[in-house]
């Protein structure tokens, strides 16, 4: 697989990473641990070098799976994880980026991942009660101590990015970005380009919707957070099929899948964008990797942009409580 650099940081990763959250968290019943480990190792064999996890996924167990799976392959991979939440009684409980808590989280992640240094450490969500300069300063100290290599932010706004970057250069911003979630285009992407920061889109396939395999009658497991997500209510799923019909048309003309068009479009936006689609299935992993070979011409990209601009996406991407934790 081709490699990309996240901004001007020098951090080189595969053009497509793997979001690991869904292996055992948020998307229904967890995978068997052995199967999850086998999938992660298969991803490395197929050229994926960039793996994304977080302490809150599980909590904690996702990092343990990633750590065990990638331990024999450590010199071949880049591992990203995140801090920024309180975890009480096995559940996420509000944001917390106090310096002491960051250090505590990092020590836990290092142990669970079985690594000496975290390649890329993100603040999972901006904490309005802690100045971002204090957060960046703490990570800067952790970098000088050799416990972290690169600093990242997630779902942070332009001003927050600038303030953090002035203290400790930000390597990457992780935020939702796809053909049905494009709010980063107005202010965030220009800011990243100016500062030389990479963008790591999570949910680049719209939490599965942009694969084209989900209709208005889709049902979700009680452990699946989409069951309570406004954009996955039946009315929204039905209304948003217009976007799938359009992508299906482009896929048929291109001889690819709908998911590959969605990922190919993202990869074509900027050379420093590295999507991290997640999956629990080997065939989907292979399909997603195939998107790195999809070449969309300038005319095709213009057609996609023009056509999708006429489609109104129905449903908020987050619940009201989740929206409050987004700094965009």
Q: Tell me the catalytic residues.
A: 57
Q: How far apart are the C-alpha atoms of 291 and 286, rounded to whole Å? A: 9
Burial class (CB in 10 A: 0-12, 13-18, 19+), 68: middle
Which single residue is written with the structure tokens 């948020």? 26
DSSP 227: G
CB 80 within 8 A of CB 119: yes
Q: Are strands 12-14 and 18-19 parallel, antiparallel or unpaired?
A: unpaired
For the four alpha carbons of 194, 199, 203 and 209, in that order, the dihedral sign comes to: positive
DSSP 293-319: G----HHHHHHHHHHHTTPPPPS-SS-
Q: How far apart are the C-alpha atoms of 247 and 258, rounded to whole Å? A: 6
Q: Tell me which H or E stretch contains 111.
A: helix 99-113
Residue 175 three-state SS: strand
């Amino acid at each position: 697989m081709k490699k990309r650099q996240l901004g001007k940081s020098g951090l080189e990763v595969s053009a497509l990473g793997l979001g690991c959250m869904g292996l055992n968290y948020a998307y229904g019943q967890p995978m068997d641990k052995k199967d999850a480990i086998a999938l992660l190792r298969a991803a490395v064999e197929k050229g994926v070098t960039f793996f994304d996890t977080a302490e809150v996924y599980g909590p904690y167990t996702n990092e343990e799976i990633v750590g065990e799976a990638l331990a024999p392959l450590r010199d071949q991979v880049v591992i990203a994880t995140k801090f920024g939440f309180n975890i009480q009684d096995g559940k996420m409980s509000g944001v917390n980026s106090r310096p002491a808590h960051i250090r505590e989280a990092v020590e836990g992640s290092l142990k669970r991942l079985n690594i000496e240094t975290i390649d890329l450490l993100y603040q999972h969500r901006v904490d309005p009660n802690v100045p971002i300069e204090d957060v960046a300063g703490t990570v800067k100290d952790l970098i000088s101590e050799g416990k972290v290599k690169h600093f990242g932010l997630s779902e942070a706004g332009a001003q927050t990015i600038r303030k953090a970057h002035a203290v400790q250069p930000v390597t990457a911003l992780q935020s939702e970005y796809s053909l049905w979630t494009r709010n980063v285009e107005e202010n965030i992407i220009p800011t990243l380009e100016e500062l030389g920061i990479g963008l790591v889109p999570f949910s680049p396939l719209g939490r599965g919707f942009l694969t084209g395999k989900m209709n208005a009658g889709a049902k979700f497991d009680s452990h699946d957070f989409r069951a309570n997500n406004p954009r996955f209510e039946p009315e929204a799923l039905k209304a948003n099929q217009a976007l799938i019909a359009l992508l299906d048309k482009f896929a048929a003309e291109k001889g690819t899948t709908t998911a590959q068009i969605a990922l190919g479009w993202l990869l074509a936006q900027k050379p420093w964008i590295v999507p991290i689609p997640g999956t629990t299935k080997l065939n989907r992993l292979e399909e997603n990797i195939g998107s790195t070979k999809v070449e969309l011409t300038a005319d095709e990209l213009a057609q996609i942009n023009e056509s999708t601009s006429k489609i109104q996406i129905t449903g908020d991407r987050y619940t009201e409580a989740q929206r409050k934790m987004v700094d965009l």
